[in-house]
Each structure stands twice: as C-alpha cells, then as structure tokens.
Amino acid sequence: ETKLSIEERLSLFEQVCLAVKHAHQNTIIHRDLKPSNIMVDTKGEVKVLDFGIAKLMDPDEVGSAFQTRTGARMLTLGYAAPEQLESQPITTATDSYVLGILLFELLAGVHPFDLDDKSFMEIEKLIREEQPTPPSETFTGLSPEEQQQIEEKRNTSTNALVNTLKGDLDAIVLKALRKEPDHRYSSVEQLLEDLNRRKTDLPIIAREDSFRYNASKFIKRHKTRLSVAAIFLLFIIGFTAFYTSQITQERNKAQLEAQKAQEVSDFLTDMFRASNPNYNPQDTVTASTFLKRGEERIDQLENQPEVQAQL
C-alpha cells in the first residue's frame, strides 16, 4: 500500500537478495520464493519466510555443482523456474530465476507472463518456452488505466518509468529470467553486483560489452568533472580565438600603416621628382601645377580611402 519509487523498491529487493544469498551460503536453496513469502516490517526491513520446501544442498557438491534434485514437484507454478517443471537439477540459479520474476513485478507492476485465464498446461508451456519481453516493453503494452495505477504506486510518470527501466534494468531482469540456468546469474551475489554496478554507473555484465556503452557509462560517472573540463576547454578555445583575432587585427593594422607610409613616401618622391629640373629640364613647375598634380595623384587612390585621407 505504500507508494515507493523504483530506487526504494530496488533497495528492498536487495535486502531479499541478501537474505537468499545468506541461505545459499548455508547450503540452502529456498525453491518457493514468491511475494507472499516476503514480509517488510514497519521499519522497512525485509524478512524471507516459509522455507517449508527449501532443499539442503548436498555438502559434497557445494563446492562444485551446488545443486539438488527434487522428485515430487513442490512449487508455486507462477513462481517456478523451467528446470523445476522438468524435474531437472535445482541450483542457486533456480532462486536467481524467481528473483528475476519478483524484480520484474517490482519494476513493471505485472508478472512477466500473462497467466490470466490460462490452464495449468498453458502456464507450464509459457514458463518453459516463452522468453519474456523486457519490463519497459511490457509496461508500455498495458492499457492506460493499468499504466496509471502502476506509475502512481511508484511516484512517477509513464515516460519517466519507461526511461528508468530501459537499458540496464531491462537487461538485468532478462538475464535472471533466461531459460537455461547456465545463462542466468550463477549466484545471487552476481545479481546483486550488477544492481550495485548500475547504481554507480559502471558497466553491468548483463549487457553486451561495447565501446558506445562503456563510453556512456564513463561519461555518467564523471559527469561533473567532464562538465568542468568542457567549460575550461571552451574558455581556452574562446580565449585563443579572441587572442588570434586581436593579433590578426594588429597585424592588419600594422600592414595598413606600412602601406600608407609607403604610399606617402612614393607620392612625395614622385611629386618632387616631377618638379626637379634635373629630370624635366624643359618643364617649369609652378606651385599651382605642383598642387594640381598632387590632387590628381590622390584621386587615383580612391580604392585606398585611408591612404587617400592621409595624403
């Protein structure tokens, strides 16, 4: 009845895993994990109940196979692993499978298989043969009314819940629910490790190793540092661009001043050379002619307004 967020639910689930892990360490497989066998007290502490059909593992096999066999099938069908239905060896991976069912329900609000109006044989076939869809996809396939009820109990919205489930949590649940025991989490400890790695943004073993995935995890882990580094890098780039622009402007200004000086020098040289009797002995240049020639020369510099203005 208490509305708990996804992270709060995961915290309780981890307590369940720790209790099951403790049982496994004492060579006990529960074999009948289900919601009615799990109690949460008012302090938020979890207790796993009813070890009535629990199986003591053969001490001689604890270090190797860590498995038991069962003749008569004592189980709750909706919370049974495929190997339990086939009277195959029962291992710690059997409890890991059922923990996957419980985790699926905690996250998506429904059982991984649609068991409504199904016969005993139909349910058995589902458990043995059908691979469940990821929790996020199962949730999106529900009716709007069902989605609203589930998201309200988790203090979230549809989009937020789907985004939370997609990725790591989907992968963790599906690995726990693999049909083949060898492809599941080999121990509850391994399942717990993946849940903890997800919380700390480390790559989980349930996901395929890839550069893109590992890079995204690295970025999440170092988000603050990378943000500071990015800001610093942008500052360096901006400062460099500004400094380069200033240097370019100063260089262009210096080149323009040099060009103006050269033009003035050439102008004066040409003007005085034109009036020098040694160069033009037959030409007598008056002051008015001298100024007129200068004016004509200045008019020729219309494409260089700054030099023209200087002259």
Q: Are 83 and 36 found together in one domain?
A: yes
- Rounded CA-CA distance 212/280 in Å is 83
Structural domains in the chain (count): 2
Q: What is the pLDDT of residue 55?
A: 57
pLDDT for 5 equals 94
Q: How far apart are CA 202 and CA 77, in angstroms?
A: 35
CATH number, domain containing residue 69: 1.10.510.10
* Residue 195 maps to a domain: yes
Examine the domain organization and report whether 198 and 283 are in the same domain.
Answer: no
Indicate if 277 and 210 belong to the same structural domain.
no
Q: Is 60 a catalytic residue?
A: no
Note whether 100 and 59 are same-domain residues: yes
- In the prediction, which pLDDT does 286 show? 73
**Residue at which a domain ends, from 221, 237, 254:** 221
The tokens describing 134, both together, are: 């990821």
Query: How would DSSP label each residue in 83-133?
Result: HHHTTPPEEHHHHHHHHHHHHHHHHHSS-SS--TT--HHHHHHHHHHPPPP
With tokens 């995961």, the residue in question is 10
Tell me what pLDDT residue 65 has.
Answer: 31
Q: Which of 193, 221, 249 is the last residue of a domain?
A: 221
pLDDT at 79: 92
What is the C-alpha separation between 251 and 245, in angstroms, rounded?
10
The pLDDT value given to residue 102: 97
pLDDT at 217: 81
> Are 162 and 209 contained in the same domain?
yes
Whether 255 and 189 share a structural domain: no
Q: Check whether residue 118 and residue 174 sit in a common domain.
A: yes
Residues 89 and 77 in one domain: yes
Q: Provide the pLDDT for residue 73.
A: 55
Q: Which helix (H) or strand (E) holds 7?
A: helix 6-25
Q: 32 with 70, same domain?
A: yes
Model's pTM, two decimal places? 0.68
User: 113 and 46 in one domain?
Assistant: yes
Alpha-carbon distances, residue 249 vs 158, 203, 235, 274 (angstroms): 56, 51, 21, 37
**Separation of alpha carbons 299 and 266, rounded Å:** 15
Q: Which domain holds residue 130?
A: 6-221
Angle at which helix 211-221 crosses helix 223-274, to 10 degrees, equals 90
- Name the residue type at position 31: R
Predicted confidence at residue 67, as pLDDT, reads 37
Q: Is residue 89 part of a domain?
A: yes
Q: Is the residue at 1 inside a domain?
A: no
- Low-confidence spans in the chain with pLDDT less than 50: 59-72
- Domain-embedded: residue 59: yes
Largest CA distance in the chain: 135
* pLDDT on residue 294: 76
* Domain-embedded: residue 44: yes
Does 169 lie in the same domain as 80?
A: yes
The one-character DSSP state at 311 is: -
Torsion of CA 211, 215, 217, 219, to 10 degrees: 180
pLDDT computed for residue 54 by the predictor: 53
Write down which residue in 157, 188, 221 finishes a domain.
221
| Shared domain check, 50 and 136 | yes
- C-alpha–C-alpha distance, residues 96 and 67, integer Å: 13
pLDDT tens per residue, range 69-111: 444 456 788 999 999 998 888 889 999 999 999 999 999 999 9
Question: In angstroms, rounded to a whole number, what is the distance separating the alpha carbons of residues 188 and 203?
Answer: 18
Identify the pLDDT of residue 13. 95
Cβ contacts of 17 within 8 Å, gap of 6 or more: 99, 188, 191, 192, 195
